[in-house]
Amino acid sequence: MRIGILTSGGDCPGLNAVIRGAVLKGTEINDQEFVGFKDGWRGVVAGDIRPLERSDVRGIAKQGGTILGTSRTNPFEGNGGPERIQETLDRLGIDAIIAIGGEGTLAAAKRLTDAGLKIVGVPKTVDNDLDATDYTFGFDTAVEIATEAMDRLRTTGDSHSRCMVAEVMGRHVGWIALHSGMAAGAHAILIPEQKTSMEQVAAWVRSAADRGRAPLVVVAEGFTPDHADDAHSERGLDAFGRPRLGGIGERLAPMIEEMTGIETRATTLGHIQRGGVPTAYDRVLATRLGMAASDIVQDGSWGRMVALRGTEIETVGFEEALGKLKTVPQHRYDEAAMLFG
């Protein structure tokens, strides 16, 4: 069987480990052959491929990014669509696709599978927001990077007696903010799941300052203060029609300074959170998911993806992964909130 692998959507530490795991398991155990689609769904639509043999994946588990490239191409636009894609796969002699990506990628994979294409999925997102899996690879690395950045912000905040606002990724969930904020000892963590007033934020900041601390406020990019209706977005929509979030930290900093009288600075960590080498945890998880993806292709379990449940790798249908976002539950936020101020 000849399998095409693609990485789509935002890049993420661990993508290369998935590719390596699938290729090694597939070529050595499952008698499979692999090619890689260049730049995500764009490569599928255009038939742009490269070989993926064992020598091509040697040593890539520790590399960040993706050797295949990625994009936010919508496979249903332009020259795409299930019929055209199937024609391309037939021309290239490709029997099935392993799609590695997040919500947008897996939603497109489900539509194509429903139309008759043979696709299995591997969940990828630093946001950790897919409901069907306990953790996604890339999340642990993003939290580690964000925590280190906040540790550095604390030292400059302490030196100048400033309040530091750190904005992290996460889209419409607050997992990165929650974990990195708790690890860094933040005095307030603001996430999309919790409507919080600026008066409450200011109270937490003043409480920390009154104890002689330089306040650290961690905010997820999708956070919406209780006086606003929508998450802050000033960069338009992506290829799947979703708003590009970001910039809430810069909006909050002057409000905090005005309400507390404490000099406040904002830092948006942005894409640094998903760059660089993956952590050991993400390398192991990604490798296991890649190996399992080869197995479900071998079984012909189309329309399903691999997932982590506890410590075991299982398979679930695309519809289970796309049913709803995995949000931060109230009790997890309450645990963290006990430490605020």
CATH of the domain at 290: 3.40.50.450
Q: Inform me whether the pLDDT recorded for 238 exceeds 60.
A: no
Q: Is residue 327 included in any domain, yes or no?
A: no
Whether 235 is in a domain gets the answer yes
Give dist(CA 286, CA 294) in Å, integer: 13
Q: Return the CATH number at 257.
A: 3.40.50.460
Assess whether pLDDT exceeds 60 at residue 285: yes
What average pLDDT does this structure show over 319-339? 92
For range 24-41, the mean pLDDT:
97
Report residue 223 as tokens.
């956070």
| 46 and 164 co-located in one domain | no
Span 180-200, pLDDT tens digits: 999 999 999 999 999 999 999
* Model confidence band, residue 287 (pLDDT cutoffs 50, 70, 90): very high
Mean pLDDT value of segment 8-30: 96
Query: To the nearest whole percent, how much of the chain has pLDDT over 90?
Result: 85
Average pLDDT over the chain, rounded to whole?
93
User: Lowest mean pLDDT: which of 82-96, 238-252, 264-278?
Assistant: 238-252
Region 64-79: mean pLDDT is 92
pLDDT at 192: 96
User: What is the mean pLDDT of the segment spanning 138-147?
Assistant: 97
% of the chain at pLDDT higher than 70:
95
pTM value is 0.92
Q: Which residues contact 313 (CB under 8 A, 6 or more apart)?
A: 288, 289, 292, 306, 307
**pLDDT, average across residues 137-143:** 96
**Per-residue model confidence as pLDDT tens digits over 87-129:** 999 999 999 999 999 888 999 999 999 999 999 999 999 999 9
| Higher-pLDDT residue of 104, 164 | 164
Q: Model confidence at 242, in pLDDT bands (50, 70, 90)?
A: low
User: What's the domain count of the chain?
Assistant: 2
Largest Cα–Cα distance of the chain, in whole Å?
A: 69
Q: How many helices (H) and strands (E) would you count in the chain?
A: 11, 11
Of how many residues is the chain composed? 341
d(CA 62, CA 59): 7
Is 85 in the same domain as 127? yes
Domain span at 231: 139-275
- Does the pLDDT value for residue 231 go beyond 60? yes
End residue of a domain, out of 241, 275, 309: 275
H or E segment at 95?
none
Residue 233 in this model has a pLDDT that exceeds 60: no
Domain shared by 220 and 244, yes or no: yes
- The verdict on 59 and 103 lying in the same domain is yes
pLDDT of residue 237: 55
Answer yes or no: do 118 and 228 share one domain: no
Say if residue 221 is in the same domain as residue 311. no
Q: Is residue 277 predicted with pLDDT exceeding 90?
A: yes
State the Cα–Cα distance between residues 26 and 275, nearest whole angstrom: 28
At residue 57, the 3 state secondary structure works out as: helix
Using CB atoms within 10 Å of the CB of residue 327, give its burial: 0 to 12 exposed, 13 to 18 middle, 19+ buried: middle
> Quick one: 153 and 111 in the same domain?
no
40 within some domain: yes
Q: Is 160 within the bounds of a domain?
A: yes
Query: What's at 188, amino acid-wise?
Result: A
Average pLDDT over residues 142-168: 96
Instruction: For residues 34-53, give the mean pLDDT.
Output: 96
- Same domain? For 103 and 207 the reply is no
**pLDDT value at residue 232:** 59
* Residue 159 and residue 10 share a domain: no
90 in active site: no
Residues 238 and 210 grouped into a single domain: yes
Tell me the pLDDT band of 236, cut-offs 50, 70 and 90: low
Q: Give the whole-angstrom CA distance, residue 25 versus residue 31.
A: 9
Q: Are residues 97 and 180 in the same domain?
A: no
pLDDT of 171: 86
Q: What is the dihedral of CA 86, 90, 95, 100, to 10 degrees?
A: -50
pLDDT at 247: 87
Options 11, 39, 127, 129, the catalytic residue: 127
Q: Are residues 150 and 133 in the same domain?
A: no
Does residue 326 sit within a domain? no
- Whether 112 maps to a domain, the answer reads yes
Strand partners, 312: 309
The β-bridge partners of 49 are: 37
Task: Give a yes or no: residue 268 inside a domain.
Answer: yes
For residue 128, tell me if it sits in a domain: yes
